[in-house]
């Protein structure tokens, strides 16, 4: 191994690994995060035959296609207990996701308990009990850290800000109606909307607040939001009109938005952090710091007034120099059909008209889970295994596109998720054999989670193969089994795994060691992992 470790997963981390399973188990990697991915794959090699555990022999060279593989979870429109967030992190780790984009607050509620401004949560959350304490936040960050997942906090402004104003109304712009301030015109605006860019006190508050966020969260990036800053409230205000005239903006609200955004991003830079923002300001011609990452989210499927997502990504790539992540086609809160994982699987961030150099600025993508109609009782069932399709698209080579093959693998993988404690929805008709006991009544569906790997490496028990397995799938790429989840049946390997790396002949067959040998190898590797980087007492 012999690599250094930064302590926390970070943007651009090296996740490549080589795994060899023969009479011994070896994982070669340049970083601890590659070791984490290799351990996940290693566990996927295990299976049972007549109650005895085996591990498949294999030689694997694996690395992600995209460096940014994220999932947004919105905890403002519905509150999720810490246990649900952890369960989702378990599932993310299984699929080699590496960014938890925590959309922690929004207009509906402010569940983050600030150290400096505790009233924001005390008054702005749905209830003082439905909040994330500082201990909760650190617990989530550490839990994600051990799984190689970054925690990216989002505090969206200047819009989506109603909950901030419950405790601190002075932050928001008083909207005007009938010649009076602070009056709603519900066809257009509420009593107060959007942070007030005309006051220096607004930016003084933001500097204090994000100084705290810098100390609380460990990632080098903040997600600053900056989407959907609707102008109706600003347009209604004579105070804003006077400020714009004095600033030389005239009636150009794009310039007012730019003024706010640039001042806030300057604060982030002074705090030695970098920013990710939604694409809206760039669509409006705003210029932001060059190291800002732009999240493309717009698509005609989300709003008929929008264009297909490819046009927005092409514009970002061909008219700017920013790096881009895509989420437009991966809104998992929208249920399109019972088989809508197929449309997620078909979406490729690089399927746009751009040069190779421009395409190289696509860092990856993100599955979005907005919570208007999701809460702790249905979120995991709604997200998994649909998010598995996104994970494969972001990890696997571009030529892994066989939907029928993916369907069979995903169907079997859903059984693995159930064993891990993730209540994933069905993919096809059928059942997982270990969901029922011998008299056909329900047995334990959701046992204590175990860390299962998202990588395929299964080989036939009776017909050994001799091809190197390479990074082709965050969920297992065996074609199918005679019965789902029945590892005593024939397990056929998928040998159509093409990767840009040169391969070596793989080991044949399986290692017929009992389960204790395999699990001992994992325990030893985990101890090395913890001791190597000081992540525990190991």
Residue 202 sits at the vertex; the CA angle it makes with 200 and 203, to the nearest 5 degrees, is 70
Residues 6+ apart with CB under 8 A from 440: none
180 is catalytic: no
Per the DSSP assignment, residues forming a β-bridge with 223 are 154, 276
CB-based contact 233:196 (threshold 8 Å): no
Rounded to whole angstroms, the Cα distance separating 30 from 39 reads 14
Catalytic: which of 135, 228, 245, 372? 228
Considering only CA atoms, which of 309, 367, 290, 375 is closest in space to residue 84? 375
DSSP classification of residue 426: P
CB-based contact 276:292 (threshold 8 Å): yes
Question: To 10 degrees, the CA torsion angle through 488, 490, 491, 496?
Answer: 180
DSSP classification of residue 125: S
Rounded to whole angstroms, the Cα distance separating 406 from 399 reads 13
Coil/strand/helix, residue 305: coil
Question: To 10 degrees, the CA torsion angle through 70, 74, 80, 86?
Answer: 10
Rounded to whole angstroms, the Cα distance separating 88 from 94 reads 10
Rounded to whole angstroms, the Cα distance separating 464 from 53 reads 18
CB-based contact 254:261 (threshold 8 Å): no
535: its two tokens: 């992540």
Q: Annotated catalytic sites, by residue?
A: 228
């Amino acid at each position: 191994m012999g690599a250094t470790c930064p302590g926390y997963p970070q943007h651009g981390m090296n996740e490549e690994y080589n795994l060899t399973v023969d009479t011994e188990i070896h994982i070669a990697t340049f970083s601890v995060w590659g070791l984490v991915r290799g351990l996940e794959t290693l566990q996927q090699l295990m299976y049972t035959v007549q109650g005895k555990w085996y591990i498949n022999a294999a030689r694997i060279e694996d690395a992600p296609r995209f460096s940014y593989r994220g999932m947004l979870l919105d905890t403002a429109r519905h509150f999720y207990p810490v246990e649900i967030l952890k369960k989702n992190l378990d599932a993310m780790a299984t699929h080699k996701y590496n960014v938890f984009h925590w959309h922690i607050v929004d207009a509906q509620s402010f569940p983050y308990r600030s150290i400096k401004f505790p009233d924001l949560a005390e008054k702005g959350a749905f209830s003082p009990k439905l909040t994330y304490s500082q201990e909760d936040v650190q617990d989530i960050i550490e839990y994600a850290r051990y799984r190689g997942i970054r925690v990216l906090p989002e505090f969206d402004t200047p819009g989506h800000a109603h909950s901030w104003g419950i405790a601190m109304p002075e932050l928001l712009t008083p909207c005007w109606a009938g010649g009076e301030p602070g009056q709603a015109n519900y066809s257009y605006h509420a009593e107060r909307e959007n942070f007030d860019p005309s006051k220096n006190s607004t930016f003084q508050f933001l500097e204090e607040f994000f100084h705290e966020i810098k100390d609380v969260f460990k990632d080098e990036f903040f997600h600053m939001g900056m989407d959907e800053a609707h102008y109706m409230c600003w347009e209604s205000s004579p105070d804003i009109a006077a400020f714009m005239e004095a600033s030389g903006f005239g009636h150009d609200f794009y310039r007012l938005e730019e003024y706010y955004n640039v001042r806030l991003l300057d604060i982030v830079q002074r705090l030695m952090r970098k920013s990710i923002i939604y694409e809206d300001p760039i669509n409006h011609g705003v210029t932001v710091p060059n190291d800002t990452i732009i999240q493309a989210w717009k698509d005609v499927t989300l709003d008929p007034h929008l264009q297909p997502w490819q046009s927005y990504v092409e514009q970002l790539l061909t008219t700017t120099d920013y790096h881009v992540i895509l989420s437009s086609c991966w809104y998992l809160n929208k249920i399109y059909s019972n088989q809508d994982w197929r449309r997620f699987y078909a979406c490729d961030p690089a399927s746009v008209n751009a040069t190779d150099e421009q395409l190289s600025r696509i860092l990856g993508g993100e599955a979005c889970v907005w919570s208007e109609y999701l809460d702790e009782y249905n979120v995991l069932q709604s997200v998994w295994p649909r998010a598995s399709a996104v994970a494969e698209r972001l990890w696997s080579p571009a030529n892994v596109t066989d939907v029928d093959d993916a369907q069979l693998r995903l169907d079997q993988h859903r059984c693995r998720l159930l064993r891990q404690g993730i209540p994933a929805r069905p993919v096809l008709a059928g059942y997982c054999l270990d969901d029922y006991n011998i008299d056909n009544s329900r047995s334990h569906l959701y046992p204590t989670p175990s860390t299962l790997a998202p990588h395929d490496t299964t080989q036939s028990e009776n017909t050994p193969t001799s091809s190197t397995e390479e990074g082709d799938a965050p969920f297992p790429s065996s074609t199918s089994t005679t019965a789902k989840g029945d590892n005593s049946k024939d397990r056929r390997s998928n040998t159509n795994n093409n990767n840009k790396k040169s391969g070596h002949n793989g080991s044949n067959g399986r290692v017929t060691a009992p389960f204790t040998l395999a699990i001992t190898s994992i325990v030893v590797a985990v101890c090395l992992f913890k001791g190597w980087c000081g992540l525990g007492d190991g």
